[in-house]
Structure 1
Amino acid sequence: MQKYPMTVEGEAALQAELTELKTVARPAVIKDIAEAREHGDLKENAEYHAAREQQGFIEGRIQDIEGKLSNSQVIDIKSIPHSGKVLFGTTVSLINLDTDEQVQYRIVGDDEADIKQNKISVSSPIARALIGKEEGDVAVVQVPAGAVEYEIDEVKHL
């Protein structure tokens, strides 16, 4: 069975969501279904159908999270000796050699990726090009418009 990398923070976020779903959302939707049943005819009861649909979503999400957690390999970057290399969980400052634009990304698991928070998936093209490189190295990233070269300015193990 294949294991999927995940940061400690990513695991904690999934555990928190799972707890919320099981202790708050699931009981609330069961209560909503019970109330909707009391209104009579279920065939034309929109509240009942909406609650059942919500229940299906919650149960599906619970199964999804449990599956992800059971197949995850939690990696604590703080426990890995700082080598200066780009690894899973590190934060990397890059300089685009064409535009001199500076960006910073943290390499995380697929489920944790959020470009708005500058978190990129370990399986993304840019992360794959960066893994194993060191500060000062140049990484070539293949994008639809061609190749983009980034210089690795700084690697942080946070």
Structure 2
Amino acid sequence: MTQETVLLTNEGTRRLKHELKSLIDEKEACTVEEKGQFLDKRIKQLEHVLLHARILSNQKEPGHTAEVGSTITLLELEFQDEMTYTIVHPFEADPREFKIASDSPVAKAVLGKPLNSKIYISLPGGQISYEIINIQNCKR
């Protein structure tokens, strides 16, 4: 695993720490070797992520460029639908909470792009066009 900094939200950090504790407890009680190996692998992943984490501020301010931690509002250009997402580390992604992984197609398309940029995402059914209409970045 690399030594790169991992950007996490406060909430994501709490969740990962809770998951890590639960997995350690489960590992101690585990009697099945295969399951124990799976738990060991996940425990190591979480420890690595938490060791290299930099916690992002909960406070947001208007931003000019989309980055990990940004809350972005996109306008779908064909139907004029607005969607708001927060770009997070893949370990924190939760579409039900509109948190998308930084390695997702939408996030990849917007990361590094300035406000009012138009982005195009190719899907099997065709291309979707968006405009970035709002960016809120974590306060530094």
1:128-158 CA distance string (max 9 Å, x none):
1111222222111222223211011211235
Whole-angstrom CA distance in 2 between matches of 1:135 and 1:123: 20
Deviation for aligned residue 1:13? 1.8
C-alpha spacing 1:76/1:19, structure 2 compared with 1 (3 Å): same
Question: Which structure shows the higher strand fraction?
Answer: 2
Q: Name which of structure 1's ranges 78-87 and 126-135 shifts more when overlaid on structure 2.
A: 78-87
SS at match of 1:52: coil
- Give unpaired runs (5+ residues) of structure 1: 30-50
Deviation for aligned residue 1:64? 3.0
The residue aligned with 2:42 is: 61
Given that 2:85 and 2:99 are in contact with CA atoms closer than 8 Å, whether structure 1 keeps it comes out as: yes
1:98-144 CA distance string (max 9 Å, x none):
11111111100111111121111111121111112222221112222
Question: Which structure shows the higher helix fraction?
Answer: 1
The CA RMSD over aligned residues, in Å, is 2.7
Determine what percentage of the aligned residue pairs are the same residue: 27
The residue aligned with 1:76 is: 56
The residue aligned with 1:139 is: 119
Given that 1:77 and 1:90 are in contact with CA atoms closer than 8 Å, whether structure 2 keeps it comes out as: no
C-alpha spacing 1:82/1:94, structure 2 compared with 1 (3 Å): closer
Instruction: Specify which structure has the bigger relative contact order, considering alpha-carbon pairs within 8 angstroms and separated by 6 or more residues.
Output: 2
The code of the aligned residue for 1:66 comes to E
SS at match of 1:140: strand
The residue aligned with 2:31 is: 52
Q: Which has the larger radius of gyration?
A: 1
The code of the aligned residue for 1:20 comes to S
Given that 1:112 and 1:121 are in contact with CA atoms closer than 8 Å, whether structure 2 keeps it comes out as: yes
The code of the aligned residue for 1:62 comes to I
TM-score, normalised to structure 2, is 0.76
Q: Does 1:108 pair with 2:88?
A: yes
Whole-angstrom CA distance in 1 between matches of 2:114 and 2:50: 31
Q: Does 1:14 pair with 2:16?
A: yes
Q: Does 1:153 pair with 2:139?
A: no
The code of the aligned residue for 1:15 comes to K
The code of the aligned residue for 2:48 comes to G
C-alpha spacing 1:79/1:92, structure 2 compared with 1 (3 Å): closer
